[in-house]
Structure 1
Amino acid sequence: MPGQEPRRGLDPVRVAEVMVRPAAGRGPGRRGSGYRVGLRWVLTAAHVVRDAEGGTAGVRFEADRAAEWTAPARVILASDKADVALLEITGSVPQGVHAAATGSPSYGTLPDTDVVLPCGAMGFPRFKLREDRMRLLDDGSASQYRDSCHATGMTSVLSNRREGTLELAVTPPESDSEPDRSPWEGMSGAAVWHDGTLVGLVSAHHRADGLGRLAAVRVDRWYELLTGAELALLHENAGLPASAGRLVRFPPADTTVAVPVTLAGLHDDLPLGELAGLVTALTTLPTVRDRTTLALVLSSIDPVVAAMSPRMPALRPDLFGILRTCLSYPGTLDQLLEAIRLLEGDSAGVARMDQEAVELSRRHRRSDGRR
């Protein structure tokens, strides 16, 4: 098995854009995402490369950056049952890629218990489609490209048990302008990470779940759904452990989200960087993203905060201003988070907010030298 580097985590230079041309008469070309798990091996979702012309696809890395490279790849494994595929890069690989570390990632399984855990994935969804006005087509129109999306959020491990997938709660796109096409189209095949460990691949966006939910096939399910020969291919080429018992495991006691803590003792001059994690978590919540409900939240706490909080057009700067104002009035930040909990109820987004609050409290205690 290729040498492993434990907890390597998401490396953006390994994130692949997978480009597929279906066999004749089987629909238009399509895009997906993937992750390079060895010098010449790329994991993606099986449905991304289904009916690929000649059993091949194109993979592109670092698009429109100095280190961009593209190569053909052949499909050597595609399991519809497990929705996982392994591609072998058949074209030349740049020397710089040869020189870099090429070991496989760590693979893991999440506890099948009542926990909510942070996760992330990087891919190329349709809502990231952009116009490049510096590159014009023959008819004078601007060419288009897909930018990357680093989707971060939480997974409620007990969701989607019947389907056998992980439910990822992530920041949704602002709109869904194409009723016949999901804005997340193209994200399939993106590797899903928890604590530096690959735990799944994005497999679907179920419209009924809303714009902020994705489903990901779990790595541990591969051992149930793949044949012995298919598992052997992944073991030899992608570094997948030979048995499920060798996957990285996360004990529930170490990963449960802590109960809410008080932030009343935080200094009012904290750098903005200290608040960034909490602000990011807040931006995923519908209560906060809606200006009307956010105003309701502010009106429910100290009126001085509602009156003095800067109201900026962009949500993220506005939230930084609100939090800094709350820090000037001890206890009001706790009031703010509690009001949000009441309106949101139990959700993966609230769990992430509470986790960021816990981490902020811990960093503050360390900086003050308290135990």
Structure 2
Amino acid sequence: MDPHRLVLIRSGTTRLRHRVGSGYLVAPRLVLTAGHILRDGESGAYWEENQVRVGHPGRGETLRTGAELIWTHPQNLDVALLLTHDEIDVPGSVRWGHPVGTAPLRYEGLGFPLASAEDGRDAEHLRGVLPPLSSGARGLYVLDQEPAPDLRDDGRKAWGGASGTAVFCEDHLVGVVIRDDRSYGNRRLRALPAHCFVQDDDFEALLRRYADGPLALTKIGAALPTAQPAAERNPAQQETERLLWSVLGGWITYAEHARVLARRLGYTVPDSHEPTMPDLAALVAAHPRALPSLSSTLAPALTGEAERTRLTDVLTRARAGGLCLLLSQDECEHLLELLRGICKEQPTLIPRAAREALRYAWLPDPLNRTHLCADDLEHVVEHLESVSDSERVPDGTPPVPALLRLVECVAAALGREAGAELRSWSDQVATRTGIHPAALAERRTDAGRWAARQSPPFSRVVVEVSRAQTEPHESYYCRILLARADGTHTSLHEAESAPRTPEEVARRVRDAVEVVADELGPTAAPHATVLVARDSLHLPIDEWNPGAPNEFVPDQPIGAEFCITLSCPEMSDLVRGREREHRRRWENGHAAPLVVDDERVTRPRLRRLLQTTHRDATQVVLHGSPEQRDTLLELCLALGVPVVLWDRRADCLADAAGLQQLDLTGPLADLPERVRVFRGTAFDEPETLPARPALVWEEHGRRPRPESLTLQDPPEGAHAT
């Protein structure tokens, strides 16, 4: 990788630059990059002008020149070649490579992500691990990035601009970065392999013309890890070596086990190779599935109970210390193969089973969605490997991983015959890891009961929102429940309770609503209830905009997309008897609302109205100044009024006309939907409809009270709520 060949690309029109991306000079005038950075995302047409800057900004002079698009892939793969207007003289040539085998390789690259931008775009040295087995059906390389930026507060992609970065392994160009993967918290990128496009006839002809030489792909395999000198071994390697001595120290054949393990992990190992115990420890420390894979060959040969117990203890201690994962290489591949088929046939089954069977475990984001994509399976499996299902087990035996409980539930849902292979897989993993048969049998019984019980569908989303007071920018803590009509609910847990921007909160709410909408069917309108403290009732949560859901549908606020109402459960803790009054008003209430449109209405007067002539009022509409509304709103909630409507933008009684289009005397049950439609129209026509309706809607018997929200990041390794 030559820093002098680094290229910054700006594409757009003659008057305005629209896209920024990265590239690499593969010949004196040829720039390799990703095709999408040269194209208008809306029209699909390529931009008319491209300006490039060649060279590393921190390594001497850079050259600025224009460039034109001269090649795109005939099958629309996301790759392109630019021809610079000027010839750039750089020493050396580019070597092309093709990673082979299954062992992870180190990679690096140079690009211009938005996260590194200050006054201008700064170069970022991308580096990490390329695990060939993580490549999905689309054939893209996975790049597990070591230094990774946080998600941006403004909603823009932190990796924006890194597309087009050339990826190098062993100083061979092996691919081009084309996108990031938000499911992994900005830690993972995806790259198009070089072998997918270098054999195109036109591409090869251009390389021969401008690079003046034949193009050859070199096969690249990962180098077998070897032990460092004793003084340089890190604590993980030292602990791994101690664990290995405890199960292999007296075995003469451990070298054969080491050779078998290395080959299984994707390395080329001759029969003459004689690894030492430190070499084996280095191999195990470098691969989280190495120790489980080694135990797969050891366990069948262990006949003594003491030896088998010692191996179980080693595996348990290694997982607890973060030295390995649960599954061996074969077990992981077999499970992913089985689950991919389920994702294809029943994409909602695995997320539904996870939410029900693992209610008190932190679930990764893909399991908190409606459908599970096969590309997310590896992340899901790896996450659940390290989580216990928290149930009791016989003394002296390992805890049952949450992954096995989930597999049992999915198998039970599939039925006896269709789930037989999953249950067989569970049996094999439990036997190897020392999980007690009684513990697995108990989970299997629970799974059968769960599959036989049809849970009522989710009816709405309940969101708990509170302001992050210590944050410099506007941000909120957010917790989400999926509620049912029978009062039960499921929490959508996440790895950390971090502060989020309004846009990020809105995206999470929209994702949760999709889960509920999928269960409700096409006729019912999804509803989200936002739980806030009384000092946050003024927040314009319905105006928070999650951004466009895809490239075709324009964006809109969440309050226009689905019914969103407020609730203030804090009032029930502060006012004795409020729940009783709340229930009575719903049972005896009148349809006609009490409209407060007189500035002379004070708190004492409103109290008398709500306790005499309007004692059964279900709905109150508040007009007037913000100061009057705030004080009367709290009184309404304290006296158990379940539905309160007001205009956040209103300054005085003269603004009351802004809510007339809501048909305030219309059917009460339809009010949330009328408010949603009004919000959508107001978003499209803000000058015509300046009102911004806020609606408290607290339906009796359907207000799950979430457990207290811990407003801090959990300690590393913590998974319980």
Query: 3-state DSSP class of the match of 1:17?
Result: strand
Indicate which of 116, 126, 138 corresponds to 1:128.
116
Higher relative contact order structure (alpha carbons within 8 Å, sequence separation ≥ 6): 1
Distance change (3 Å), C-alpha of 1:223 and 1:343: closer
Q: Under a length normalisation based on structure 1, what TM-score does the superposition of the two structures give?
A: 0.57
Aligned AA (1:266)? A
Q: Structure 2: how far apart are the matches of 1:16 and 1:346?
A: 42
Distance change (3 Å), C-alpha of 1:88 and 1:150: same
- Alignment deviations for residues 71-113 of structure 1 (CA, whole Å, 9 cap, x no partner): 111111123722221111104x5xxx53x51x430101111x3
- 164-173 vs 194-203, which deviates more? 164-173
- Alignment deviations for residues 179-208 of structure 1 (CA, whole Å, 9 cap, x no partner): 632211111111100111001011111212
Q: Is the 8 A contact 2:7 2:53 kept in 1?
A: yes
Indicate which of 37, 42, 57 corresponds to 1:48.
37
Q: Under a length normalisation based on structure 2, what TM-score does the superposition of the two structures give?
A: 0.31
- Alignment deviations for residues 150-190 of structure 1 (CA, whole Å, 9 cap, x no partner): 11111111222311111011124342124632211111111
2:192 is the alignment partner of 1:217: yes
Distance change (3 Å), C-alpha of 1:86 and 1:346: farther
2:139 is the alignment partner of 1:164: yes
Q: Is the 8 A contact 1:16 1:35 kept in 2?
A: yes
Query: 3-state DSSP class of the match of 2:192?
Result: strand
What is residue 35 of structure 1 aligned with on the other side? Answer: 24
Q: Structure 2: how far apart are the matches of 1:346 and 1:257?
A: 19
Query: 3-state DSSP class of the match of 1:188?
Result: coil
The 5 Å alignment of 1:237-316 reads: 237-238=210-211, 241=214, 246-250=216-220, 252=221, 255=222, 257-258=224-225, 261=227, 266-267=230-231
Query: 3-state DSSP class of the match of 1:192?
Result: strand
What is residue 364 of structure 1 aligned with on the other side? Answer: none
Query: 3-state DSSP class of the match of 1:37?
Result: strand
1:114 Cα deviation after fit = 2.0
Between the aligned residues of both structures, percent identity stands at: 26
Gaps of 5+ in 2: 40-44, 244-280, 286-317, 330-377, 379-721
- 73-82 vs 50-59, which deviates more? 50-59
Aligned AA (2:184)? D
Q: Structure 1: how far apart are the matches of 2:174 and 2:102?
A: 17
Q: Structure 1: how far apart are the matches of 2:8 and 2:328?
A: 35
1:122 Cα deviation after fit = 0.8
Aligned AA (2:36)? H
Q: Is the 8 A contact 2:130 2:143 kept in 1?
A: yes
Indicate which of 7, 26, 41 corresponds to 1:16.
7
Aligned AA (1:89)? T
Q: Structure 1: how far apart are the matches of 2:153 and 2:17?
A: 17
2:192 is the alignment partner of 1:187: no
Q: Structure 2: how far apart are the matches of 1:234 and 1:70?
A: 22
Structure number having the greater helix percentage:
2
Q: Is the 8 A contact 1:192 1:200 kept in 2?
A: yes
The 5 Å alignment of 1:43-122 reads: 43-50=32-39, 51-63=45-57, 66-79=60-73, 81-91=76-86, 98=89, 100-101=90-91, 103-111=92-100, 113-122=101-110
Aligned AA (1:126)? L
Q: Is the 8 A contact 1:188 1:202 kept in 2?
A: yes
Q: Is the 8 A contact 1:61 1:70 kept in 2?
A: no
Q: Structure 1: how far apart are the matches of 2:122 and 2:326?
A: 31
Q: Is the 8 A contact 1:86 1:234 kept in 2?
A: no
Aligned AA (1:21)? G
Q: Structure 2: how far apart are the matches of 1:108 and 1:220?
A: 8
Aligned AA (1:82)? L
Q: Is the 8 A contact 1:116 1:256 kept in 2?
A: no
Q: Structure 1: how far apart are the matches of 2:169 and 2:83?
A: 26
Aligned AA (1:192)? V
Q: Is the 8 A contact 2:151 2:185 kept in 1?
A: no
Q: Structure 2: how far apart are the matches of 1:191 and 1:216?
A: 9
Structure number having the greater strand percentage:
1
- Alignment deviations for residues 25-46 of structure 1 (CA, whole Å, 9 cap, x no partner): xx96111111111222211111
2:316 is the alignment partner of 1:341: no
Aligned AA (1:117)? L
Query: 3-state DSSP class of the match of 2:151?
Result: coil
Q: Is the 8 A contact 1:129 1:146 kept in 2?
A: yes
Please identify the structure whose Cα radius of gyration is greater. 2
Distance change (3 Å), C-alpha of 1:155 and 1:90: same
Q: Structure 2: how far apart are the matches of 1:195 and 1:238?
A: 21
Q: Structure 1: how far apart are the matches of 2:35 and 2:217?
A: 22
Q: Is the 8 A contact 1:193 1:199 kept in 2?
A: yes
Gaps of 5+ in 1: 1-9, 131-143, 283-296, 302-332, 349-371
Distance change (3 Å), C-alpha of 1:202 and 1:65: same
1:14 Cα deviation after fit = 0.9
1:256 Cα deviation after fit = 5.2
What is the number of equivalent residue pairs in this alignment?
Answer: 248
Q: Structure 1: how far apart are the matches of 2:210 and 2:69?
A: 13
Query: 3-state DSSP class of the match of 1:83?
Result: coil
What is residue 304 of structure 1 aligned with on the other side? Answer: none
Distance change (3 Å), C-alpha of 1:239 and 1:195: farther
Query: 3-state DSSP class of the match of 1:341?
Result: coil
What is residue 204 of structure 2 aligned with on the other side? Answer: 231
Aligned AA (2:217)? L
Distance change (3 Å), C-alpha of 1:239 and 1:81: farther
Q: Structure 1: how far apart are the matches of 2:51 and 2:93?
A: 21
1:13 Cα deviation after fit = 1.2
Q: Structure 1: how far apart are the matches of 2:121 and 2:326?
A: 33
Q: Is the 8 A contact 1:200 1:218 kept in 2?
A: yes
Aligned AA (1:30)? R
Distance change (3 Å), C-alpha of 1:15 and 1:129: same
Query: 3-state DSSP class of the match of 1:29?
Result: strand
1:129 Cα deviation after fit = 1.2
Query: 3-state DSSP class of the match of 2:197?
Result: helix
Q: Is the 8 A contact 1:49 1:57 kept in 2?
A: no
Aligned AA (1:47)? H
Q: Structure 2: how far apart are the matches of 1:163 and 1:69?
A: 36
Aligned AA (1:57)? Q
Q: Structure 1: how far apart are the matches of 2:214 and 2:322?
A: 42
What is residue 305 of structure 1 aligned with on the other side? Answer: none
